[in-house]
């Protein structure tokens, strides 16, 4: 079964840091672009970042660029999101997602984790 499991969310003060992890199983992780997508309470999804299957290319939404870093370890079938300088408006459920087509980054996310909740509050 294709599966993604996120961890690392929690309550953090403004200006703090968190590192999210996502462990993949049931597919060849190193063949797929991966994304982080977040969803604030009561809002629609927002794409945050993605990373090429081999880790050689990354992209970010402007609001997190310079504060968040996406990375992956294909040997461990794992995706990460290092979040620094967190702000109240970063509060959301963070999902790890897999692109549908191997080696493509523009096909849509066919697999989502269960999400991990990040709350930024003093």
Partner 1 sequence: DVQLTQSPSFLSASVGDRVTITCRPSQGVSTYLAWYQQKPGKAPKLLISAASTLQSGVPSRFSGGGSGTEFTLAISSLQPEDFATYYCQQLNSYPWTFGQGTKVEIK
Tracing tokens 């970010």 back to the chain, one arrives at 60
- Nearer Cβ to partner 1 (16/58): 58
46 vs 77 by CB, closer to partner 1: 46
* 31 versus 105: smaller Cβ distance to partner 1: 105
Smallest distance, partner 1 to C-beta of residue 78, A:
19
- Smallest gap from residue 14 Cβ to partner 1 (A): 23
- Is 69 exposed, middle or buried, given 0-12, 13-18 or 19+ CB atoms closer than 10 A? middle
User: How many whole angstroms separate alpha carbon 16 and alpha carbon 36?
Assistant: 19
How far, CA to CA in Å, does 26 sit from each of 13, 53, 114?
Answer: 36, 16, 16
Nearest approach, Cβ of 73 to partner 1 (angstroms)? Answer: 23
- Could you list the residues that contact partner 1 (CB under 8 A)? 35, 44-47, 50, 59-62, 95, 100, 105-110, 112-115
Q: For the chain, what is the radius of gyration of the CA atoms?
A: 13
């Amino acid at each position: 079964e294709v599966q993604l499991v996120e961890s690392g969310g929690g309550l953090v003060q403004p200006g703090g840091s968190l590192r999210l992890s996502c462990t993949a199983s049931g597919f060849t992780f190193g063949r797929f672009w991966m994304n982080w997508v977040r969803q604030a309470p009561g809002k629609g999804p927002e794409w945050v970042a993605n990373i090429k299957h081999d880790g050689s290319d990354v992209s970010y939404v402007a609001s997190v660029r310079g504060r968040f870093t996406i990375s992956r370890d294909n040997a461990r079938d794992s995706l990460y999101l290092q979040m620094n300088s967190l702000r109240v408006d970063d509060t959301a459920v963070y999902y790890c997602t897999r692109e549908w087509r191997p080696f493509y980054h523009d096909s849509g996310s066919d697999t989502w984790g269960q999400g991990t909740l990040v709350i930024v509050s003093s």
